[in-house]
Amino acid sequence: MDGSRNSLGVISKSGHWLVLDVDGQACAIASGQVRQIRRSDGIVALPGRNPCYPGLLAWQGRPLVVLDLGACLGRRPSLGLLAARVLVCQLEGECCALVVDAVRGFHREASGESQRITVSPGLPPPWSAMTALLPLSLAADGEVCALLHLPTLWDDCLSLMPLMPEVAPYTASPAASQEPDS
């Protein structure tokens, strides 16, 4: 893992991660993909109340489908918790929104000092987006953090959900998310 390319893209030894909580599990995504961290208010609920798709979020003049990461990972939904946050993230030209229990802060791996534990491929979606486990240096109890590859996570979460007709116009393509059908 010295900057070589694998099936999930380029992984480097040094990384900057945004560490977050999902039902007691520490998870992290690459901090460079995060465009904004917001409070969880402002989400417009969709009919049907699917806990994985709590609704839509207006962001910079366009609607974003919101995924509740806790519900998508088969854990307790994050929306409704006092510390819940919405992460607006950039994915190869389009944006997505993820609700998490809380944001812990940033973690930076020092070059050459990576202690990542590689995860064998073959986990079921959406856990297939986990690339490694990272021991958290500040955690006295030996806690490890699941490093998540955001594009894979997003695709896996969407592929597992029976698409609701109300969501389909916003997930088809970046162009479709700007001009929803009425």
pLDDT tens, residue by residue, 139-176: 567 788 999 999 998 888 887 766 555 555 555 544 33
Total residues belonging to the chain = 182
pLDDT at residue 179 greater than cutoff 50: no
- pTM recorded for the entire structure: 0.76
Token digits of residue 94:
């389009």
Q: What angle do CA 51, 104, 13 make, to 5 degrees?
A: 105
- Which single residue is written with the structure tokens 């590859």? 149
Give 43's strand partners: 57
Contacts of 44 (CB under 8 A, 6+ apart): 55, 56, 57, 58
* pLDDT tens digit sequence for 80-128: 888 899 999 998 878 999 999 999 998 887 666 567 888 877 888 888 8
Section 50-78 average pLDDT: 89
pLDDT at residue 134 greater than cutoff 70: yes
